[in-house]
Every structure is written in structure tokens, then in C-alpha cells.
Amino acid sequence: MTIAPLRLRLDGTALADNWRTLDRLSGAAACGAAVKADGYGLGAAAVAARLARAGCRDFFVATWAEAEALAPLGCTVSVLHGVRAEDMAVAPGIARPVLSTPAQIARWREAGRGPCDVMVDTGMNRLGVSVQAVGEGLLDGLQVETLMSHLACADEETAMNARQRDAFAGLARKTGARRMSLANSAGIALGADYAFDLTRPGLALYGGRQRAGHDAIRQVVIPEAQVLQRRTVPAGQTVGYNATWTAPADSEVAILNIGYADGYFRGFSDHGAARAGDVRLPVIGRVSMDLLAVLVDAAPDVAEGDWLALDYDLPAAAVASGMSQYELITSLGTRFDRVWSG
């Protein structure tokens, strides 16, 4: 078995504790989990198994291929992108579709396929049928398990959040749906009025923090990369593409086996950092496709073959790189070994 020169240290205990925190913040509502995009890049099957052991019972993916990957776990799965004609052959028994267009609703109804979920657009203008169409009977004859909508600006202080909540609340008892679901990770922190019957956190499960209510959320993933070479860069010489960093004095530099092809983006150039224990090692020069340079003057014992951790607390890493927390976690590439503890 080949051992990769870069790995993700994944804290299963932190993941489960994050879900428990969000479950507690959800009050009387059940707390589900978005595990789309392969569990936000961490591995959907491994994530879902740990969350199921913690007590999660509702999982959300984007596509039917993602639902098939979770089938061996026996989880209750909803497919957020609905059901195309091409999906009808695999849809029964694997998961429920989240129907979001009149055509999808007609397709599901005519096929007599049983329970489904439905997405209503309350102002995001992305996926979903209109509130008006629902009020006019679009869902008549459907066995709707969960009626849901999605907040556009839950991570901001804006009147749009209340408008969406109120529009969604106006559909209560008008569709026969067993449950209603609106809040994502940030929406959970907006308060009890947004929880309804089921919440659907994603980013916060994996260590993302968007609002004050997320203070207890813990970091789940730490990228680590091996040192390929340690070298002395003489004063006045430069490091990396376009010579953006110049050594102010003779400097000790380590070259790591990680780059933007692995999701460690160019935005970290001269802004990111690695760690040798508690010692911060700043990223210097441009991040390359496969390589990264860090200054190791403060770590005299770091040598070829050693492993260094990258600073990857999601809110701080987002500020350092200019990327969103979502982009940072879902872009972690396939070249990492994923090593779980807990």
C-alpha cells in the first residue's frame, strides 16, 4: 500500500460533538446533516457513519450517485437536486427526492413512487417551486415527508431572513407535509423561530463557524504534508514563481508536498502558515501546484521526511486565503490520505 506524502487528520470526536452542539441549538427540532460533496470533502460514508452513531437520522446529498454511495449504511437520505428522468430507474428505495420543479412533481406523481420531499423557493431564486403554486394545490396527491426551503443570507444580519421565515411559516398545514425544514448551519444560530421540525446543518459540522452561536464548534480537519527538502536560501535570493519573496538574511526554508492542486490555494501565498508543534512557520512565496515553501528558521529540528500541519481553522484560513470556508473544505483533494481518529 502506497503511503501518500500528504494526509488529512480528521477528528471524529469533534465531528460528533459538533453535531450534538447543533442538535442542542435546534431545540425541539430534529437535527440532520448535509453530507453532499463527499461529506464536504472528508468522505461521506465515514462522516455519515460517525454522525449516525451520534444520533443523526436524516442525511442530505446532492445527487443520486451520492445517495447510492450511502446505501450500504441504511441511512435515511434525501437528494437535494430532485429527480430527473434519468434518475427514475435508481430512485425507488435508495433515497427520497427533494422535488423542486413542477415537471419533477408530475414525474414522481405519475410514477406513483411514494414519499418525497419538496423544496419551496422563498426568495433565494435557486431551486424550488413557488409559494403561490404550493398554495394553489401543486402538491395535491403527493406524500410529502419534508417541506423545505433554503435561507439565502443566514450568515448575515438582514431583514431577508425574517421574510423567508415568514413566507415559509405561512405554508404550515397547507401541504400535508409531515415536517418542515428551513435552517442550515447559520440558520440554526438565528433562533428557535427558524428551526421548524428539522434542521439541515452542513458547514458547521465540519468546523465552519459563521455566527456567534457557533462558538462551540470545533475544528475537524487538519491537513498535513511531508517535508521534501530543507534548504538554506542566501540573503537576497528569492523563493518560488515570480520571485515574490526575497530572503532578508540567510534563511532556512522547507519545501512541502502540497499545493493548489490539493486545495491549498494560491491565496495562502505569503499569508498562510504551517506548524511544527506550537511553532508557527509562515508560508513564503507563491503556492505552487504541488509544492509549498515555509520559513523554518524557528524550527531547527525540522528535516526531510518530517510532517508539518497546516493552519486550517476554517474562519481564520478563509481570512488568510480570501476563499470561503465552504471552498476551503470541499476542495481538499484526492491525493490526501484521510486518517480518522475517534
Active-site residue set = 36, 241
- Amino acid identity for residue 265 in this structure: F
Contact yes or no for 308/294 (Cβ under 8 A) = yes
Half-sphere exposure of 229 (CA within 13 A, CB side): 7
Question: 202-231 in b/e burial notation, b at 16+ Cβ within 10 A?
Answer: bbbbbbbbbbebbeebebbbbbbbbbbebe
Q: Alpha-carbon distance 102 to 94, whole Å?
A: 22
Contact yes or no for 246/268 (Cβ under 8 A) = no
Contact yes or no for 45/70 (Cβ under 8 A) = yes
SS (H, E, C) 292-319: EEEECCCCCCCCCCCEEEECCCHHHHHH
Q: Alpha-carbon distance 208 to 327, whole Å?
A: 11
Q: Alpha-carbon distance 58 to 80, whole Å?
A: 12
Q: Alpha-carbon distance 125 to 40, whole Å?
A: 23
